[in-house]
Amino acid sequence: MSPHKVLAEAAQQSFPEVDLHIMGVGSQYPEHTVSPQEFREFALRHYPRTPALEKVLAINENTGIDVRSAACSVNHPMLNQPHAPTIDQLSEIFLTEGVKLAVGASRKAIEEWGGDISQITHVVATTCTNSANPGYDYYVARELGLSGSVERTLLHGVGCAGGLAVLRNAANIALGASFLGRPARILVVTCELASLMARSELDSLNQDQDLRIGMTIFSDGSSAVVLSNGIGESPESKPVFDLLAWDHKTLPETDKDIGFDVHPNGWKVILTPRVPALASTSAPPLLNSLLPRIPSLADRAIPLTPQDFDWALHPGGAKVLTSVQKLLGLTPHHLRASYDVYKNHGNSSGATIFSVLNRLRDMGEGREHVVGCAFGPGVAIEMCVLRRHRVPSEVQAAPASGSSSDSE
């Protein structure tokens, strides 16, 4: 057997009882919101009515989103200049408002964990809406008062899959610490300010008359979790979720389907009509590959099906949610937290998934196991399987309201 085949097979071996736990979850949204009507008024304030703009504004009315969270109101001077904000103006806002959001989300996660901030050993963070050096994680760590010896890792280029991508990397770091017999208390942070790109997107639409729908669904927010490898953990600290397994897959020849291209006025969103189908068809094979590698689930007399899990699915758009729901035979109740966050906050890119997880556990009773799933540039799919640490007595039966919108 070739060394390459040995490595490939080893990567697919069963997960051991890794003893990794999410000890706290926190999300923080800005105070401002933007309704579909407010966005329409904002767009028409600066740009003439054209067929392309009229079509985008029609999509804007049918996204299934009531309001989107935004770091700035639609009347903010920076968004109402003669021209779209420059990338340095956007960075200045991110390193003030974005850092505030990330610190707020982090403090909530740390408070729920209950440990001392001096016990944090690592920070693993992500954003696709800022490129500062040092990265925003440096300023978050400084505001939190973390020691200079805390190891920091900042991921870029993972987009909407960012939350689960940083969780995957944090899990691998935690396993390395466990191998060395060392405690790991990893602060996992996500933050995105995507709404600030609206003027740049509208500029492109007005110039090229191309259909650009990202400006109708993206929003701002931050979320965080504390991941522990259990070594030296206080008996008083109770996990929220056990992290059982995780995986990642990049779909071939899909790099042009989801993107966020750098531009002098920020970034330009790329979302092709193929995204809902790519997302929905890629989820079942990855789940089918992951479940047999989790001993506590693989040994069951009756194999689990997708319907046996609650789903924390990244709400990349209404079609993404409904496509995955239909293909996996789920109900709106399985995806209740994803629909709720999407409806009330919009899509905050990589920061959304932990917010969905936070909302799911706040909704009360649910299924014992949860599948986290997100899609990002590549197209990359990230997936993890979690177990509720405190198992409810029964599954909540009443379905939550879902979305049946046909818009992306």
Q: Find the CATH number of the domain harbouring 347.
A: 3.40.47.10
What pLDDT is stored for residue 13 in this prediction? 72
CA distances from residue 74 to 84, 183, 342 in whole angstroms, order as listed = 13, 46, 20
Amino acid at 135: G
- Is the full-model pTM beyond 0.85? yes
Enclosing domain of residue 276: 242-388
Is the same domain home to 212 and 283? no
Residue 73: what pLDDT?
93
pLDDT of residue 164: 98
Q: Nearest Cα to 249, choosing from 284, 297, 296, 276? A: 284
72 is catalytic: no
Residues 215 and 354 in one domain: no
Residue 120, phi then psi, degrees to nearest 5: -65, 125
Residue 76 is assigned to a structural domain of this protein:
yes
**Helical H runs in 150-300?**
162-179, 198-208, 275-290, 295-298
Residues 187 and 252 in one domain: no
pLDDT < 50: residue spans in the chain: 3-10, 391-408
In a domain, 79, yes or no: yes
Measured CA angle at 189 (ends 184, 190), to 5 deg: 155
Among 128, 160, 191, 373, the active-site one is 160
- Residue 155 and residue 256 in one domain: no
Going by the DSSP 8-state scheme, the letter that residue 15 receives in this structure is: P
Q: What residues contact 41, with CB distance under 8 A and at least 6 apart?
A: 74
Structure tokens at 250: 């990049």
Is residue 29 within 8 Å of residue 345, measured between CB atoms?
yes
CB distance 309 to 334 below 8 Å: yes
Confidence (pLDDT) at 268: 74
* Residue 122: closest CA among 179, 186, 168: 186
Q: Please check whether residue 5 lies inside any domain of the structure.
A: no
In-domain check, residue 262:
yes
Task: Tell me if 192 is assigned to some domain.
Answer: yes
Task: Answer yes or no: do 251 and 221 share one domain.
Answer: no
Nearest to 361 by CA among 258, 204, 242, 192: 242
Q: Which of 93, 113, 369, 56 is nearest to 239 (CA)?
A: 113
What pLDDT shows up at residue 12? Answer: 60
**Residue 322 neighbours by CB under 8 Å, 6+ apart:** 276, 402, 403, 404, 405
Confirm whether 237 is domain-assigned. no
Hey, how many other C-beta atoms are within 10 angstroms of the C-beta on 266? 26
Domain count, the chain: 2
Are 291 and 169 in a shared domain? no
